[in-house]
Amino acid sequence: DAKTTQPPSMDCAEGRAANLPCNHSTISGNEYVYWYRQIHSQGPQYIIHGLKNNETNEMASLIITEDRKSSTLILPHATLRDTAVYYCIVRLRPTDSWGKLQFGAGTQVVVTP
Amino acid sequence: NAGVTQTPKFQVLKTGQSMTLQCAQDMNHNSMYWYRQDPGMGLRLIYYSASEGTTDKGEVPNGYNVSRLNKREFSLRLESAAPSQTSVYFCASSGTDRGENQPQHFGDGTRLSIL
Protein backbone atom coordinates (compact mmCIF):
# COMPACT_ATOMS: atom_id res chain seq x y z
CA ASP A 1 0.00 0.00 0.00
CA ALA A 2 1.17 3.54 -0.77
CA LYS A 3 2.65 5.70 1.98
CA THR A 4 0.93 8.93 3.00
CA THR A 5 2.28 12.23 4.36
CA GLN A 6 0.20 14.52 6.56
CA PRO A 7 1.06 17.63 8.59
CA PRO A 8 1.43 16.74 12.26
CA SER A 9 -1.01 19.36 13.47
CA MET A 10 -3.34 22.17 12.48
CA ASP A 11 -5.78 24.55 14.15
CA CYS A 12 -9.20 25.59 12.94
CA ALA A 13 -11.72 28.14 14.18
CA GLU A 14 -15.15 26.86 15.13
CA GLY A 15 -17.67 27.34 12.33
CA ARG A 16 -15.03 27.62 9.64
CA ALA A 17 -14.10 24.98 7.10
CA ALA A 18 -11.17 22.73 7.98
CA ASN A 19 -9.06 21.61 5.03
CA LEU A 20 -6.79 18.66 5.81
CA PRO A 21 -4.14 17.83 3.20
CA CYS A 22 -2.63 14.43 2.45
CA ASN A 23 0.14 13.56 0.01
CA HIS A 24 0.25 10.09 -1.52
CA SER A 25 2.61 10.53 -4.46
CA THR A 26 3.24 6.78 -4.90
CA ILE A 27 -0.42 5.82 -5.12
CA SER A 28 -1.23 3.25 -7.77
CA GLY A 29 -4.25 3.04 -9.99
CA ASN A 30 -6.17 0.50 -7.92
CA GLU A 31 -5.64 2.14 -4.54
CA TYR A 32 -8.33 4.08 -2.70
CA VAL A 33 -7.90 7.01 -0.29
CA TYR A 34 -9.58 6.50 3.09
CA TRP A 35 -10.00 8.96 5.95
CA TYR A 36 -10.56 8.02 9.57
CA ARG A 37 -10.47 10.11 12.71
CA GLN A 38 -9.83 9.29 16.35
CA ILE A 39 -11.28 11.41 19.08
CA HIS A 40 -9.32 11.20 22.32
CA SER A 41 -9.68 7.86 24.11
CA GLN A 42 -12.08 6.46 21.52
CA GLY A 43 -11.69 3.99 18.67
CA PRO A 44 -11.09 5.30 15.14
CA GLN A 45 -14.16 6.40 13.20
CA TYR A 46 -14.56 6.05 9.45
CA ILE A 47 -15.22 9.33 7.63
CA ILE A 48 -15.08 8.88 3.87
CA HIS A 49 -13.20 7.20 1.03
CA GLY A 50 -12.73 7.65 -2.71
CA LEU A 51 -10.82 6.51 -5.80
CA LYS A 52 -10.57 9.47 -8.18
CA ASN A 53 -13.83 11.36 -8.09
CA ASN A 54 -14.67 13.85 -5.41
CA GLU A 55 -16.89 12.39 -2.71
CA THR A 56 -19.27 13.93 -0.17
CA ASN A 57 -21.24 12.51 2.69
CA GLU A 58 -22.92 13.85 5.81
CA MET A 59 -19.59 14.23 7.61
CA ALA A 60 -17.15 15.60 5.06
CA SER A 61 -16.02 16.07 1.47
CA LEU A 62 -13.00 14.45 -0.16
CA ILE A 63 -11.21 16.20 -3.00
CA ILE A 64 -8.67 14.10 -4.93
CA THR A 65 -6.37 15.80 -7.43
CA GLU A 66 -6.50 14.73 -11.05
CA ASP A 67 -3.11 13.00 -10.85
CA ARG A 68 -4.26 11.37 -7.57
CA LYS A 69 -0.99 12.24 -5.84
CA SER A 70 -2.73 14.24 -3.13
CA SER A 71 -6.12 14.78 -1.55
CA THR A 72 -7.90 17.11 0.85
CA LEU A 73 -10.49 16.26 3.47
CA ILE A 74 -12.89 19.12 4.06
CA LEU A 75 -14.95 19.49 7.23
CA PRO A 76 -17.37 22.21 6.06
CA HIS A 77 -18.29 23.74 9.41
CA ALA A 78 -15.91 22.61 12.12
CA THR A 79 -17.25 22.17 15.65
CA LEU A 80 -15.43 21.60 18.90
CA ARG A 81 -16.39 17.92 18.65
CA ASP A 82 -14.30 17.65 15.49
CA THR A 83 -11.11 17.99 17.55
CA ALA A 84 -9.36 14.69 16.82
CA VAL A 85 -6.46 13.00 15.07
CA TYR A 86 -7.26 12.53 11.39
CA TYR A 87 -5.70 9.66 9.45
CA CYS A 88 -5.31 9.49 5.68
CA ILE A 89 -4.83 5.90 4.51
CA VAL A 90 -4.25 4.54 1.03
CA ARG A 91 -4.99 0.92 0.33
CA LEU A 92 -6.02 -1.50 -2.33
CA ARG A 93 -9.52 -1.18 -3.63
CA PRO A 94 -12.04 -2.97 -1.47
CA THR A 95 -12.62 -5.82 -3.92
CA ASP A 96 -8.90 -6.62 -3.95
CA SER A 97 -8.30 -6.58 -0.25
CA TRP A 98 -10.33 -7.86 2.64
CA GLY A 99 -9.79 -4.65 4.54
CA LYS A 100 -6.36 -4.30 6.14
CA LEU A 101 -5.56 -0.70 7.09
CA GLN A 102 -2.12 0.82 7.72
CA PHE A 103 -2.27 3.85 9.99
CA GLY A 104 0.38 6.58 10.06
CA ALA A 105 0.79 9.31 12.67
CA GLY A 106 -2.09 11.42 11.34
CA THR A 107 -2.88 15.13 11.79
CA GLN A 108 -3.93 16.46 15.19
CA VAL A 109 -6.73 18.93 14.49
CA VAL A 110 -7.72 21.34 17.25
CA VAL A 111 -10.92 23.33 16.77
CA THR A 112 -10.97 26.49 18.86
CA PRO A 113 -13.96 28.65 19.89
CA ASN B 1 -26.90 -0.30 18.81
CA ALA B 2 -23.76 -1.88 20.37
CA GLY B 3 -21.52 -2.30 17.29
CA VAL B 4 -18.12 -3.58 18.49
CA THR B 5 -17.84 -4.32 22.21
CA GLN B 6 -14.52 -4.87 23.96
CA THR B 7 -13.97 -6.18 27.47
CA PRO B 8 -12.42 -5.28 29.79
CA LYS B 9 -11.95 -1.53 29.30
CA PHE B 10 -8.97 -1.37 31.66
CA GLN B 11 -6.57 -3.99 33.01
CA VAL B 12 -3.32 -4.03 34.96
CA LEU B 13 -1.15 -7.14 34.81
CA LYS B 14 2.15 -8.23 36.26
CA THR B 15 4.93 -9.39 33.96
CA GLY B 16 4.44 -13.06 33.11
CA GLN B 17 0.71 -13.16 33.73
CA SER B 18 -1.67 -14.26 31.01
CA MET B 19 -4.79 -12.48 29.84
CA THR B 20 -7.48 -12.74 27.18
CA LEU B 21 -9.05 -9.64 25.65
CA GLN B 22 -12.57 -10.19 24.39
CA CYS B 23 -14.25 -8.64 21.37
CA ALA B 24 -17.75 -9.15 20.01
CA GLN B 25 -19.63 -7.53 17.14
CA ASP B 26 -23.34 -7.60 16.40
CA MET B 27 -23.24 -6.42 12.78
CA ASN B 28 -22.90 -9.88 11.17
CA HIS B 29 -19.47 -8.90 9.79
CA ASN B 30 -17.19 -11.52 8.32
CA SER B 31 -13.85 -9.86 9.06
CA MET B 32 -12.42 -8.94 12.45
CA TYR B 33 -9.12 -7.34 13.49
CA TRP B 34 -6.93 -6.61 16.49
CA TYR B 35 -4.75 -3.47 16.57
CA ARG B 36 -2.53 -1.93 19.20
CA GLN B 37 -1.83 1.75 19.65
CA ASP B 38 1.16 3.10 21.56
CA PRO B 39 1.36 6.72 22.76
CA GLY B 40 1.69 9.23 19.93
CA MET B 41 1.53 6.57 17.25
CA GLY B 42 -0.97 5.21 14.79
CA LEU B 43 -2.57 1.80 15.05
CA ARG B 44 -0.62 -1.33 14.16
CA LEU B 45 -2.31 -4.54 13.10
CA ILE B 46 -1.62 -7.54 15.34
CA TYR B 47 -3.84 -10.28 13.89
CA TYR B 48 -6.87 -10.46 11.68
CA SER B 49 -9.57 -12.91 10.72
CA ALA B 50 -10.90 -12.49 7.19
CA SER B 51 -13.75 -14.89 7.88
CA GLU B 52 -14.96 -17.33 10.52
CA GLY B 53 -12.46 -20.17 10.91
CA THR B 54 -9.43 -18.28 9.58
CA THR B 55 -6.81 -16.11 11.27
CA ASP B 56 -3.60 -14.51 9.99
CA LYS B 57 -0.70 -12.47 11.34
CA GLY B 58 -0.52 -8.73 10.91
CA GLU B 59 2.45 -6.38 11.42
CA VAL B 60 3.22 -7.13 15.08
CA PRO B 61 1.99 -10.65 16.02
CA ASN B 62 4.83 -11.73 18.33
CA GLY B 63 3.67 -12.44 21.89
CA TYR B 64 0.00 -12.78 20.94
CA ASN B 65 -2.45 -15.47 19.92
CA VAL B 66 -6.00 -15.14 18.65
CA SER B 67 -9.14 -17.22 18.44
CA ARG B 68 -12.10 -16.64 16.15
CA LEU B 69 -14.60 -18.35 18.40
CA ASN B 70 -17.55 -17.82 16.06
CA LYS B 71 -18.68 -15.17 13.61
CA ARG B 72 -19.37 -12.67 16.41
CA GLU B 73 -16.34 -13.12 18.65
CA PHE B 74 -12.59 -12.65 18.18
CA SER B 75 -10.33 -12.88 21.23
CA LEU B 76 -6.71 -11.83 21.73
CA ARG B 77 -4.52 -13.69 24.23
CA LEU B 78 -1.29 -12.66 25.89
CA GLU B 79 0.28 -15.88 27.18
CA SER B 80 3.10 -14.25 29.17
CA ALA B 81 2.66 -10.51 29.40
CA ALA B 82 5.68 -8.24 29.01
CA PRO B 83 6.01 -4.49 29.77
CA SER B 84 6.46 -3.85 26.02
CA GLN B 85 2.87 -4.97 25.54
CA THR B 86 1.54 -2.04 27.56
CA SER B 87 -0.74 -0.37 25.06
CA VAL B 88 -4.30 0.39 24.04
CA TYR B 89 -5.83 -2.49 22.12
CA PHE B 90 -8.57 -1.94 19.56
CA CYS B 91 -10.80 -4.51 17.96
CA ALA B 92 -12.53 -3.80 14.66
CA SER B 93 -14.85 -5.54 12.23
CA SER B 94 -15.94 -5.06 8.65
CA GLY B 95 -18.43 -6.59 6.29
CA THR B 96 -18.99 -6.74 2.56
CA ASP B 97 -21.66 -5.19 0.39
CA ARG B 98 -22.10 -6.68 -3.08
CA GLY B 99 -18.57 -8.06 -2.96
CA GLU B 100 -16.95 -4.83 -1.83
CA ASN B 101 -15.33 -4.60 1.62
CA GLN B 102 -16.92 -1.92 3.75
CA PRO B 103 -15.09 0.40 6.17
CA GLN B 104 -14.02 -0.98 9.51
CA HIS B 105 -15.94 -0.26 12.71
CA PHE B 106 -13.88 0.00 15.87
CA GLY B 107 -14.54 -0.67 19.54
CA ASP B 108 -13.55 1.80 22.25
CA GLY B 109 -10.42 -0.08 23.24
CA THR B 110 -8.88 -1.95 26.16
CA ARG B 111 -6.22 -0.03 28.08
CA LEU B 112 -3.66 -2.56 29.26
CA SER B 113 -0.76 -1.83 31.60
CA ILE B 114 1.89 -4.41 32.40
CA LEU B 115 4.10 -3.81 35.39
Q: Place B1 in a pLDDT band, splitting at 50, 70 and 90.
A: low
Query: What does the buried/exposed string (b/e) look like for B33-66 if buried means 16 or more CB atoms within 10 Å of the residue's CB?
Result: bbbbbeeeebbbbbbbbbeeeebeebebbeebeb
Q: Is the Cβ pair A46, B44 closer than 8 Å? A: no
A 31-50 residues with CB < 8 A to B: 34, 41-46, 49
Q: Place B83 in a pLDDT band, splitting at 50, 70 and 90.
A: very high
Percent of chain B with pLDDT over 90: 70
By Cβ distance, the residue of B40, B90, B104 closest to A46 is B104
Q: Which residues contact B97 (CB under 8 A, 6 or more apart)?
A: none
CA distance B58 to B18: 21
At residue A28, the pLDDT reads 85
At residue B40, the pLDDT reads 75
At residue B103, the pLDDT reads 84
- A45: exposed, middle or buried (C-beta count within 10 Å: 0-12, 13-18, 19+)? middle
Average pLDDT, chain B: 91
At residue B43, the pLDDT reads 86
Q: Which residues of B touch A41 (CB under 8 A)?
A: 108-109
**Listed range (A27-41, A53-67, B60-74, B89-103) with the worst mean pLDDT:** B89-103
Percent of chain A with pLDDT over 70: 90
- Please check whether residue B93 touches A, CB under 8 A: no
| Higher-confidence position of B39 and A25 | A25
